[in-house]
């Protein structure tokens, strides 16, 4: 399973990259706004800065919601760097736009996916990646990881090449469960990635080793 970080914060992206386990980045308009990035030029520059840190797919989301707008915006985003993946919402015009990008050799990430049916449509349109939001599904008292498992099984049964990118990750346990059911990619906040490091027995064991090392 590949690890992406789900943020537009350059310090966090660098920190995850320095761990040596980072394969890519996902952003969305909310994450970009959180960093105070305003205006077209600043947005473009920010994606350039992210691509300079990480040598892997960087999802950049369109703001338009009509076919022509998404295609025009996506073309500009894709021109920033070969690693840019155009992120398109799961709406009717979004599916048309994904098909257009597929036919024109531009990578896409279909976002805001909450059902297996939506994931099938995204794959039929040729999306490179599909992003089911598992944390938000859990928030509405469903099991988001079950949806990941269902989509993985459907894609395997049908031979779809679209990668399943588990999004809206809220905890290290989400990452472990997504790995278990065969997600291709997990996009996570830095806290969930570093949370995987933690175990009290590791801390206790290390403290003991360090204490005994003084007697060597
Ligand atoms: C996916 O790519 C989205 O950016 C993200 O995972 C959404 O997560 P949230 O539900 O924590 O906002």
Which of 87, 92, 96, 198 is catalytic? The answer is: 87
For the Cβ of 61 lying below 6 angstroms from any atom of ligand 1, the answer is: no
Alpha-carbon span 193 to 2, nearest angstrom: 12
| Cα(185) to centroid(ligand 1), Å | 13
Q: To which CATH superfamily is domain 2-214 assigned?
A: Aldolase class I (3.20.20.70)
| Residues 146-150: contacts with CB under 8 Å, at least 24 apart | 147/114, 147/115, 147/116, 148/178, 148/181, 148/182, 148/183, 149/181, 149/182, 150/116
% of the chain at pLDDT higher than 90? 100
Confidence grade of residue 31 (pLDDT, cut at 50, 70, 90): very high
CB 76 within 8 Å of CB 62: no
Q: Which helix (H) or strand (E) holds 78?
A: helix 67-78
**Best probe residue, ligand 1, of 4, 24, 62, 135 (max atoms within 8 Å of C-beta):** 135
Question: According to the model, what pLDDT value does residue 154 have?
Answer: 98
Q: Band the pLDDT of 143: cuts 50, 70, 90.
A: very high
38 is catalytic: no
Expressed in angstroms and rounded, the spacing between residue 136 Cα and the centre of ligand 1 is 8
| Structure confidence at residue 56 as a pLDDT band (50, 70, 90) | very high
Please tell me the distance between residue 133's alpha carbon and the centre of ligand 1 in angstroms.
Answer: 6
Contact in structure between 134 and 168 (CB atoms under 8 Å): yes
Q: Which pTM was predicted?
A: 0.96
| Mean pLDDT in residue range 38-64 | 97
Structure tokens at 19: 């761990």
**Ligand 1 atom closest to the CA of 109, numbered from 1:** 2
* 157-195 residue pLDDT tens: 999 999 999 999 999 999 999 999 999 999 999 999 999
For the chain, the structural domain boundaries read 2-214
Q: Across the chain, what does the average pLDDT equal? A: 98
Whether the CB of 135 sits within 6 Å of ligand 1: yes
pLDDT in tens, 68-123: 999 999 999 999 999 999 999 999 999 999 999 999 999 999 999 999 999 999 99
Write the Ramachandran bin of 105: left for phi over 0, alpha for psi from -120 to 50, otherwise beta.
Answer: left
Express each pLDDT in 108-129 by its tens digit.
999 999 999 999 999 999 999 9
DSSP state of 110: E
Ligand 1: which atom is nearest the Cα of residue 135?
10
Mutate to test the pocket of ligand 1, among 7, 12, 28, 32 (most ligand atoms within 8 A of CB): 28
């Amino acid at each position: 399973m590949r690890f992406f970080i789900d943020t537009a914060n350059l310090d966090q992206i660098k920190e995850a990259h320095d761990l040596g386990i980072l394969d890519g980045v996902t952003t969305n308009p909310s994450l970009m706004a959180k960093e105070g990035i305003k205006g077209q030029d600043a947005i473009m520059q920010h994606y350039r800065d992210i691509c300079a840190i990480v040598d892997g797919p960087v999802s950049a989301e369109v703001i338009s919601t009509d076919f022509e707008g998404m295609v025009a915006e996506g073309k500009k985003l894709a021109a920033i760097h070969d690693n840019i993946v155009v992120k398109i919402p799961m709406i009717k015009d979004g599916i048309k736009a994904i098909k257009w990008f597929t036919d024109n050799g531009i990578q896409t990430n279909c976002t805001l996916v909450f059902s297996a049916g939506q994931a099938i449509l995204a794959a039929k349109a040729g999306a490179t990646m599909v992003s089911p939001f598992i944390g938000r599904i859990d928030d509405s008292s469903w099991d988001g990881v079950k949806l990941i498992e269902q989509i993985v099984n459907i894609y395997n049964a049908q031979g779809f090449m679209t990668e399943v990118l588990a999004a809206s990750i809220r905890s290290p346990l989400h990452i472990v469960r997504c790995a278990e059911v065969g997600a291709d990619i997990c996009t996570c906040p830095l806290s969930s990635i570093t949370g995987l490091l933690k175990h009290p027995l590791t801390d206790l064991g290390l403290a003991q080793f360090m204490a005994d090392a003084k007697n060597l």
